[in-house]
Structure 1
Amino acid sequence: MDFTHVRPPALPTLLACLGLIAGMPMQAQGEPAQPFAVPQSGVTLITGDTWQQNGLQMRLYGVQSCIRGTQYTNPAGARLDCGEASAVMLGALIKDTRPACTPIAQINGTAESEPATILVVCTAHVGANNLDLGTIMITQGYAFAAFTLAGKPVYTPYIVAEAAAKNAKVGLWAAQDLQDPNAILFNAVNASK
């Protein structure tokens, strides 16, 4: 598997996605969207919730990964990049579970040079089970429930999964200095007003 990492999108792009996700339909009218496989090569991880494949940018609907450049202290005492940890977990899950994703909406880039982002819901294959990839990321403590600018969860079951992971102190929640990415994004929104 040949995953590559790239520089994450700028904060204004993240904020635009956060605002545009509010009220997005779960599925467009007309023909149901067809699931597609995430390839086992040629995938570029952007963040722990966004990747590129075949020239298209995909983002897990309702999921917010750690923001690259934010730090946390792991149980061994090392300071690490939280966003990198989220991206590594997403890459490992894609490799191990070979998810199939269904597009549910598209967000156009905020600048001509930015690609559109396709919001997807993905099913991961774990043994004989098919599980939601976003739920796995969140319950394992490597991603968070995304929120709208109005402060409401994009997908309510993810906030329940996040609370369980936080209470169990799994994944990144084991770090006492973990910075919640939603708090960072909301602070940036408030500072820009």
Structure 2
Amino acid sequence: MKRTAVAVLAGLFATAVHTAPQGYFDLRQGVALETGDTWIADGRTYRLYGVQSCLRGTSYTDKGGVARDCGEASLAVLAAFIRDTAPVCAPVAEAGQLTYVACYGSVVGNRMDLAVLLIASGFAFAALDTSGLPVHPEYAVIEQDARARHAGLWQFDDVQHPAILLSKNAHARKPGAGQ
């Protein structure tokens, strides 16, 4: 009888460890990944706060001289981190239909900020605001470290920070631009 009670309690505690804490939700495999920082789950769009993934349709040249889609690389790494770290997320802000979230995953029993994992790996970047300043300054420091270490996408000479491309596109859309 005691063994059965212990087994039941162990099962309950094991389950509790694997569920998201109050105010958080599980980020599970199988969500519809839109980019390396954005996904759709249950009809809602989520984006990692303070993160900018490489833009889909932009490219870098790998060590073999082959052009690769930069956005697809960011997306693949996000998918791998979701699979390997079982993140949980909490909403931090909303903008229309978009919910910004902060997430953490488990790495060897330690909680790690998913944004930090992506940026430190060199497969995502610190998001910038409309003034060109980091949305979350700590992420910019982590990005600079990844760049200095030539981590991830930073190992390729022709990788451009997506903020440069987004800024050029925003400038081109302004009335009177290019005149």
TM-score interval, smaller chain? 0.7 to 0.9
Q: How far 1:95 moved relative to its partner? A: 0.7
Q: 1:112-151 to 2 correspondence within 5 Å?
A: 116-151=97-132
- Partner residue of 2:23? 34
Q: How far 1:75 moved relative to its partner? A: 2.0
Q: How far 1:151 moved relative to its partner? A: 1.1
Whether 2:60 is the aligned partner of 1:72: answer yes
Preserved CA contact (<8 Å) 1:39 1:53: no
- Partner residue of 2:151? 170
Preserved CA contact (<8 Å) 2:85 2:105: yes
- Partner residue of 1:57? 45
Looking at secondary structure, tell me which structure has more helix per residue: 2
- Partner residue of 1:159? 140
How much is the aligned-residue C-alpha RMSD, in angstroms?
A: 1.0
Preserved CA contact (<8 Å) 2:29 2:79: no
Q: How far 1:175 moved relative to its partner? A: 0.5
What TM-score, normalized by structure 2, do the two folds share? 0.83
Question: Counterpart of 2:54 in 1: which secondary structure?
Answer: coil
Matches of 2:29 and 2:173, distance apart in 1? 40
Matches of 1:191 and 1:128, distance apart in 2? 47
Mark the structure with the bigger radius of gyration. Answer: 2
Q: How far 1:55 moved relative to its partner? A: 1.3
Preserved CA contact (<8 Å) 2:104 2:112: yes
Q: 1:3-22 to 2 correspondence within 5 Å?
A: none
Residue 47 (structure 1) aligned to one of 35, 43, 56: 35
Identity of aligned residues (%): 44
Q: Structure 1 stretches (4+) deviating beyond 4 angstroms?
A: none
Preserved CA contact (<8 Å) 1:101 1:120: yes
Preserved CA contact (<8 Å) 1:63 1:145: yes
- Partner residue of 1:8? none
Preserved CA contact (<8 Å) 2:36 2:78: yes
Residue 85 (structure 1) aligned to one of 49, 70, 73: 73
Q: 1:178-189 to 2 correspondence within 5 Å?
A: 178-189=159-170
Preserved CA contact (<8 Å) 1:98 1:125: yes
Matches of 1:170 and 1:75, distance apart in 2? 14
Matches of 1:172 and 1:78, distance apart in 2? 14
Question: Counterpart of 1:166 in 2: which secondary structure?
Answer: helix
Question: Counterpart of 1:137 in 2: which secondary structure?
Answer: helix
What TM-score, normalized by structure 1, do the two folds share? 0.77
- Partner residue of 1:98? 86
Matches of 2:89 and 2:24, distance apart in 1? 5
